[in-house]
Structure 1
Amino acid sequence: MVSIDYSLSMQENVPTGITPDELQQVSRQFEQGLYQQMESRFKDGTYAFRQCLSDAREQLPAIKDYVAHQLADMQNFVVVGIGGSNLGNIVLDTAFAGNGRKIYYLDNVEPHKVKHLLQNLDLKRTVFNIITKSGSTSETLANYLVVRRTLEEQRLPLQRHLLFTTDPKKGYLQQLRQRDGIPTFTIPPQLGGRFSVLGAVGFLSSAFKGIDINQLLLGAESAAQELQGTELPRNKGLLLAAIYLQHYRKGRNINVFMPYSDRLYPFGLWFRQLWAESLGKIDQHGQKVGQTPEASLGTVDQHSQVQLYMEGPDDKVITFVKVCHHDDDIALDGEIDYFQGQTMAGLLNTQLHATEMSLKKQKRCSLRLEVDTLSEWNLGYLMYLYMYATVAAGEMLGVNPVDQPGVEEGKQFTYGLLGRPEYQDKKHEYRHLQQSLRNYCV
């Protein structure tokens, strides 16, 4: 179960907060056409993550069979991907202990990291999942080349130690699959990377680790059924988007995601990409819009960033995340009197509530997500909830939440500088910009 307590976002409780009328304005905005427009985009596949739950359901038996029969003797699973191909895997990996098998990550192209990992793994018991829908992501392909060369040098069969997750029909990895017979799972063509975790992208590594991918999917499917209609607060996805953007309109340009659980800290990093890459855009009126997401961790950041949240500029809305029941809680009974009868999870959540009230005293706004337990079902629900809230916020801002033109510009400059023939105009543009600079350097 996932609930949202937004009491400390409302003006009735915090003078700088939002009003019920402001939330109703959002509801009316959706009633008057935005909801119908958003639903049409779900139905035509523009917002593909809802339809793609069916694709994930269809691939589930093949994923389970591949992991059970082809990877039974493997001990290590390396995710080779970046951004949306990587961050969701880390969320699931960190949240659940699983069966003890290890997942590693090659995302950045930092030579020391890549060389150190490949030197220290038992490659005979390692499989590498190369994840890129386009088949052209430069960092992923660079890491793939190094991995492949290392496997070939050790005379390890590529068909046993490589796995591709990519577009079903096109791209470089599909060419390699046909040539080399590499096992391959697919990403629906219309599904963007940052929305892709609830499918083969995230489920292969999770199944390898023994995480219940059926429960992850059931949680997401339940959210998809529940998040319907324009009524607030009944539609939690619209509610979350409305709260965040009404705070944004009051000058709160920073959206802090602060779970009181180490197991959920990577969720904040995943949310950071989702919110930033989806909403930091030029809107239909030519205005630059967007709310900067920030990942924080309770209680650790009570001893660093919370000072800024309390007494710095009132430019943030803070989302706390509380896990109500911890299966592996620890008693604190001992020589310190005020800890008698307390537990470690109780201390964690007491500090969360203390921080909430300290912020309220400073007239700072927050909201709290609660999950009864940190289960696969709840995490699947939570990830779908945030994807839904993101596209709803995109509708409110008047931007396309599923493209990333700012990211593409940097990719195209990179391809030009690397010598790809079809990007030579970008190479010339880069050189022109570089030559126009007046240098200041010491």
Structure 2
Amino acid sequence: MKMKYDFILISTADWDNPFWTNKQHIAKRLADRGHRVLYVDSIGLRRPEVNKKDLKRITSKLKKYTQGILKKQENLWVWSPVVIPIHSNELVRKLNFKIMELSLNRFSNKLNFENTVLWIYNPLTQPLVGKLNEKITVYHCVDELSAQPGMPVKTLKEEETLLLKKVDIVYATSKSLYDSKKNINAQTFYSPNVADFSHFNKALSSNLEIPEELKSISGPIIGFIGAISSYKLNFSLIENIAKKNPDYNFVFIGQIGEGEPSTNIDQLKDLKNVRFLGAKSYDNLPSYLKRFDVCLLPNNLNEYTKNMFPMKFFEYLAAGKPVVLTPLEALKDYYNLCYIGEDAESFSNAIKRALNENDDKIINKRIQESKKHDWESRIDKMLESIDDNINKKKADK
């Protein structure tokens, strides 16, 4: 019988964020398999600003904090901590993590956690390692966080180095991240992002209803689903592509300013063929994908995206859709399944080729490739490495 674990998962994304990341997917699937999971919402990385979005988030945080731990499904609980968001100050960090340590130990005792695995996404929480009676510690490195805007860069890099030296296992989602982390921790595994294949493959179902707000749009829809932030997306490129192709509809689904509240989309607002539909529920995303003729990844090429493996790539492929993207390094192995554009001219030509595509074989290749990269097989491998590490520790005693 396989060992059942009690996971304390320290996330950088809140559980109720409508766009699920690897954090929520992994937590849910671990719980579905009978492991118990305490999911810890994001403590935030950047310092809040005086704006409506940040004030709303602070109010929401305080409200959730007063509710304690909430059971979201069988075997899965969520806690939303409140900290003083001055991460560059060492004394403040010590106070924050002492409070978190006491709270998490209290919740662990309440839930009768025994076989504890500490699974960390936020490097700033490295002081918690060794303080929660865990048998093993995992660092799941999914982004180069220090390359995001507004981050306490010096502190993040210092804390991540300490974390890498402390943890038992590191999972890195891009080859760039793998190469840099492996130099510090030999137990680093390349573990690229995957997709919820069965969910996004629903976009191919003839019974799936297309949303009303897309039914009224005539002509091709070139779509994007995800965070709409200026450090991720190349707005100048999008603007020039949209102007070059007035007969195409460019539809963006997602929260504007996710991770970067100062994001400004004014240059795109007045373009008649560009529409921002806001965030949609995870359950409804396949129905929007169904109406897309081409999917976009119009990313900037910078230090952040160099280390990023976009989860939405395999989600697009699961729907059988042609994908046009800027030359993201993490996706080099899959260039044969998509179209590449580096500027407005080549990107526009790539969209045209994608729209004129008439080959069931390439569609099927995309679907089959996405099928290989699903959450269940990925979690199998992760649990196997955890089992191996714990067994080795026992043998070494």
TM over 0.5: no
**TM-score, structure 2 as length reference:** 0.31
Structure of higher CA gyration radius: 1
Which structure's residues are more often helix, by fraction?
Answer: 1
